């Protein structure tokens, strides 16, 4: 398991991983299969050992973090499913099977809320491996109910919600950037698995309405929700939240991978993905991290790993699938992977994860209050580990294809 000095200390020494693989800034050890497997599985194992023990590393939303069908855990379970499939790790797959069985493979309690759909991603992965229809039947039933009565509320985030579980009325649709990771990949893969075009066509329509509402075509980046249409950083730039864009970027890879290959809008998704990739690479800092506010890195110098991990995963996926040029994008992947490795503690915890929030400079706190975000080597969250596992999955694929050796 990798362990490196905390990134803000300026130290240069390293701690040897238990695999015995050497790591130093001048070597490419971390791009070898043995290392990628050791560090990624180490992060997975640490998180599996802390599913309910938060011990100071999770400050907010602790009760929701314990919910196995909420998005907070769901993003980790999705990452673990990808890592399990990529490495054919039956131990992790059996653990996920047990976890899913304990919930009867149900989505979250809110029928329309995208955050309550993300667990469907790991249910689909389990179905792909074990072939048990019970693993996806509750998801099918929920999606059929949505198709029978789709929400038509506006995508305006300002309007307060009236129904339980929907603090904003528009949360019954995909009116915030994060939703494009949580829900559309489930609809898309369900359509592919069951051969039901209606699932993808619904997702396709809703997805592009969200893009029209929140995507800044000049900058190639997403605003988090309609509240940010008029907000600016103190340097005059629009507020492009790193993790918010990370959700979208990582979600796009799953949509492109599982959508119908001959669909009329396939190239449209690829073009959006490529536009984001072009916008993201120049925003990476010299250490390999992406700042929490993508166009205001000088205002937010603290490292942040959840957004960085999503970007590394997304860029590496594009290279592996010949959608991005290795010559142009591999240096950013390598810098980002090195930064992520430097953020893993000796015990396997991925640090420097911004807590639950909706913007670069604020985190939401239970009870409705806000406080300045604190990001440190000692703080993590389930989605931070999940994003790291997605990055590890993409890196191991690059290794298998021999791309690091070119």
Catalytic residues: 178
DSSP assignment letter at 229: S
Name the pairing type of β-strands 221-222 and 215-216.
antiparallel
DSSP assignment letter at 176: S
239 within 8 A of 291, measured Cβ to Cβ: no
CB atoms within 10 A of CB 400: 12
DSSP per-residue codes, 20-47: -----TT--GGGSHHHHHHHHHHHHHHH
Residues 6+ apart with CB under 8 A from 32: 21, 399
Rounded to 5 degrees, φ, ψ at 385 are: -65, -40
DSSP per-residue codes, 318-385: HHHTTSS-HHHHHHHHHHHHHHHHTTB-TTS-B-----SBSSSSEEE-TTS-EEE----TT---HHHH
**What's the chain's Rg over C-alpha atoms?**
20
99 within 8 A of 77, measured Cβ to Cβ: yes
- In whole angstroms, what separates CA 302 from the centre of its chain? 20
CA nearest to 161, candidates 149, 175, 144: 175
Q: Where are the beta strands (DSSP E) in 221-313?
A: 221-222
**Percent helix, percent strand, percent coil in the chain, to nearest 5:** 55, 5, 40
312 within 8 A of 342, measured Cβ to Cβ: no
């Amino acid at each position: 398991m990798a362990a490196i000095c905390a990134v803000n200390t300026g130290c240069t020494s390293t701690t040897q991983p238990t695999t015995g693989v050497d790591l130093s800034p001048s070597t490419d050890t971390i791009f070898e299969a043995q290392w990628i497997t050791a560090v990624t599985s180490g992060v997975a194992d640490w998180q599996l050992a802390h599913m309910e023990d938060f011990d100071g590393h999770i400050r907010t939303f602790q009760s929701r973090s314990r919910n196995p069908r909420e998005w907070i855990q769901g993003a980790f379970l999705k990452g673990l499913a990808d890592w399990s499939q990529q490495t054919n790790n039956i131990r992790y797959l059996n653990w996920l099977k047990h976890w899913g069985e304990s919930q009867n493979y149900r989505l979250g309690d809110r029928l329309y809320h995208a955050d309550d759909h993300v667990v469907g991603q790991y249910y689909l992965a389990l179905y792909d491996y074990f072939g048990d229809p019970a693993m996806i039947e509750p998801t099918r039933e929920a999606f059929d109910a949505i198709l029978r009565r789709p929400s038509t509320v506006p995508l305006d985030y300002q309007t307060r919600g009236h129904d339980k579980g929907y603090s904003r009325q528009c949360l019954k649709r995909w009116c915030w950037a994060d939703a494009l990771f949580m829900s559309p990949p489930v609809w898309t893969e369900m359509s592919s698995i069951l051969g039901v075009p209606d699932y993808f066509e619904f997702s396709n329509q809703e997805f592009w309405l969200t893009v029209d509402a929140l995507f800044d075509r000049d900058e190639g980046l997403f605003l988090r929700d309609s509240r940010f249409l008029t907000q600016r950083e103190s340097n005059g730039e629009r507020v492009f939240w790193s993790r918010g864009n990370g959700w979208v970027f990582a979600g796009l890879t799953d949509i492109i991978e599982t959508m119908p290959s001959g669909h009329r809008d396939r190239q449209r998704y690829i073009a959006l993905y490529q536009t984001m990739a072009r916008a993201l690479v120049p925003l990476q800092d010299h250490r390999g991290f992406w700042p929490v506010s993508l166009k205001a890195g000088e205002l937010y110098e603290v490292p942040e790993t959840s957004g960085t991990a999503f970007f590394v995963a997304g860029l590496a996926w594009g290279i592996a699938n010949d959608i991005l040029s290795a010559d142009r994008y591999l240096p950013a992947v390598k810098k980002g992977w090195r930064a992520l490795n430097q953020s893993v503690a000796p015990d396997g915890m991925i640090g420097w994860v911004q807590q639950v929030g909706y913007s670069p400079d604020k985190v939401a706190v239970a009870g409705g209050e806000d406080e300045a975000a604190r990001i440190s080597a000692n703080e993590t969250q389930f989605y931070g580990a999940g994003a790291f596992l997605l990055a590890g999955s993409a890196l191991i694929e690059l290794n298998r294809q021999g791309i690091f050796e070119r």
